[in-house]
Chain A
Amino acid sequence: MECCYEKKLVCVSCPMGCRLTVTVCGDNINVSGNTCKRGEVYGKNEVTDPRRMICSTARIKGGVHPVVPVKTDKPIPEKLKFKCMDVINSLDLKSPVVAGDVVAANILDTDVNIVVTRNM
């Protein structure tokens, strides 16, 4: 890719879904079309270090349901999303758990934790 290019993105940081234009010129990155600061951060990250939140479920014994919802407590590098799923799918939890409990810490050396998102 050229050192200078323009990218049209949709900010997914909130349901407003602002339509962004990111202009990259070497180290100079400019974001327009955003309504708030988070949109600028999102636009910059998308062209430098894209990250994703992962929400899924983990097996649990003794709860009202066989699985409990979990999420990453911060976005994880995009490249690691399926590895992150492997970590979540290897979990075997026991009830009770409380929303916010860390059930896997610092996964894949990313400083990202897996937390449960409801009491069960």
Chain B
Amino acid sequence: MNFDLVVVGGGPAGMAAALEAYNNGIKSIAIVERDVEPGGILQQCIHNGFGLHVFKEELTGPEYAQRFINMTKDTEIKYFLDTIVLDIAQDKTLTVMNSKQGIFELKAKAIVLAMGCRERTRSGIGIAGDRPSGVFTAGAAQRYINIEGQMVGKKVIILGSGDIGMIMARRIVLEGGEVIAVVARSSFPKGLTRNVVQCLDHYNIPMWYSHNIVGIYGKERVEKVVVAECDKKTKAVIPGTEKEYACDTVLLSVGLIPENELSRQVGIKIDRKTSGPVVTESMETSMEGVFACGNVVHVHDLVDFVTEESRKAGKNAALYIKGEITKNSQPNTFKVAGGLSYAVPHMFRPENLGDKFDILMRVDRVFGKCYLVVTEGGKELGRYKKPFLTPGEMIKLTVPSSIFKGMAGKEIGITVEPEEEK
């Protein structure tokens, strides 16, 4: 089967990219989604907190997904549901599989990668002890409770201060379970401050900072865990601080990793910091005509930003199919320092930017009042005041594109400068 555009993944990123391409004149579009329905991770995120930027109201995950599903229904965009993409070839042929048609091929002029991310598991972090049942990733627990309607346990301890862990702590308490604590290896929350307040504080669930679960024990089901304090800097366990807690369930919320097996197989360049493809201002990857957006590029905490980024990918995929993408100059690349861990896009051509340029980034530690400073060859191009930066909250820095006017092949520096220094 031939399509102009094939989108891999039917989450918010895939749907927004497909819709935007459609609205830019591309009518032959397929979305391939391995789940039985579109919506991605949003279908299990039943809490509210989505859509304030895009829809100007606060929606739950399923409501946000429903709006996009409804919008795609009025189009000719074709869904292949319950269908998984197994492989992408250099000539943009996708090998896909489902239970009805078996293995078949889709040929595309352009591809958008929107596979989202997956969770790190226990084996990825190495906790000692037995291998009883009752240990779940927080996302798997979220799916059991919110989609399958199954409670995961009665007395729960959660490792990891990311958003999913905090949201699940509240969810379990609302459903009548007990949450002993959320155990955080870091000395600050990895998720949004707002979630510390509305998920933990409002429900009297303690957060134990600078602690770790060092052992999980039980014959068939989890019976107890051992929690120890760890050093604030090195995160090494402090001997003699171990304490035992009886519980029947452990949730691990220890981070998300972009799902890039397909991207790697076809040889797309991956950034080691984000674990996602290296992208241009058009959200194009190192493989021409293959675009990427959403959590597959870098882990987002706000779906609104996913939607914006995906619209950009969809629009540029449409331009590419119509032969209207220009690449006449050497792109400039970002080099981050001083507490920033990455910036997306990784490279850009100023002539392809609108009036304003959104740069998404994260810091690797907490900052109070500070400046984000943009430089080129020692010259300062812009300085932007920020009241507070934390690794748990993605930074969207909007700069006037004019500051990069005429630049090509340059290395653009971005750094954090605490206010005291100036």
Contact = CB atoms under 8 A, between A and B. Distances in A.
B170 to A, nearest CB: 9
B275 to A, nearest CB: 23
A17 B192 contact: yes
Contact of A67 (B63, B149, B174, B196): B149
Given A64-B37, A66-B148, A71 B60 contact: yes
A37 interface: no
B132 interface: no
B149 A59 contact: yes
Contacts of B52: 14-15
A115 B407 CA distance: 53
Contact of B48 (A11, A17, A71): A71
A99 B63 contact: yes
A10 B60 contact: no
A85 B175 contact: yes
Given A15-B52, A81-B174, A117-B62, A69 B197 contact: no
A54 interface: yes
Interface string B341-359: 0000000000000000000
Nearest to A118: B62
Interface in B1-56: 36-37, 43, 46-49, 52
Size range of the interface on B? Answer: 35 or more
B145 A118 contact: no
A54 B173 CA distance: 12
B43 A12 contact: no
Interface string B42-80: 010011110010000011111101100000000000000
Interface in A70-120: 71, 78, 81-82, 85, 99, 117-119
B415 to A, nearest CB: 24
Contacts of A19: 193, 388
B229 to A, nearest CB: 26
Interface residues of A, number: 31
A32 B145 CA distance: 39
A92 to B, nearest CB: 12
B273 interface: no
A29 interface: no
A71 to B, nearest CB: 6
Given A15-B52, A52-B202, A66 B192 contact: no
B307 to A, nearest CB: 14
B63 A117 contact: yes
Given A56-B174, A64-B37, A10 B197 contact: yes
A23 interface: no
B193 A69 contact: no
A12 B194 contact: yes
A14 B146 contact: no
A75 B220 CA distance: 41
B268 interface: no
Say what secondary structure dominates the interface of chain B. Answer: mixed
Contacts of B59: 117
B175 A65 contact: no
Nearest to B50: A15
A53 interface: yes
B385 to A, nearest CB: 14
Nearest to B36: A64
Interface in A1-45: 9-17, 19
Interface in B277-335: 301-302
A65 B148 contact: yes
A14 B58 contact: yes
A56 B46 contact: yes
A58 to B, nearest CB: 9
Contacts of B48: 53, 55, 71
Given A14-B58, A15-B192, A69-B60, A117 B49 contact: no
A87 B183 CA distance: 32
Contacts of B149: 57, 59, 65-67
Interface in B188-216: 192-194, 196-198, 202
Given A57-B146, A69-B146, A78-B202, 17 more contacts: A9-B197, A15-B393, A16-B194, A55-B48, A56-B171, A56-B174, A56-B175, A57-B46, A69-B60, A69-B61, A71-B60, A85-B176, A99-B62, A117-B59, A117-B62, A117-B63, A118-B65
26 contacts: A10-B197, A11-B194, A12-B194, A12-B198, A15-B301, A15-B393, A17-B194, A17-B197, A19-B193, A55-B47, A55-B60, A56-B175, A57-B146, A65-B149, A67-B149, A71-B46, A81-B174, A82-B174, A99-B63, A117-B46, A117-B59, A117-B66, A118-B62, A118-B63, A118-B65, A119-B66
Interface of A: 9-17, 19, 52-57, 59, 64-67, 69, 71, 78, 81-82, 85, 99, 117-119
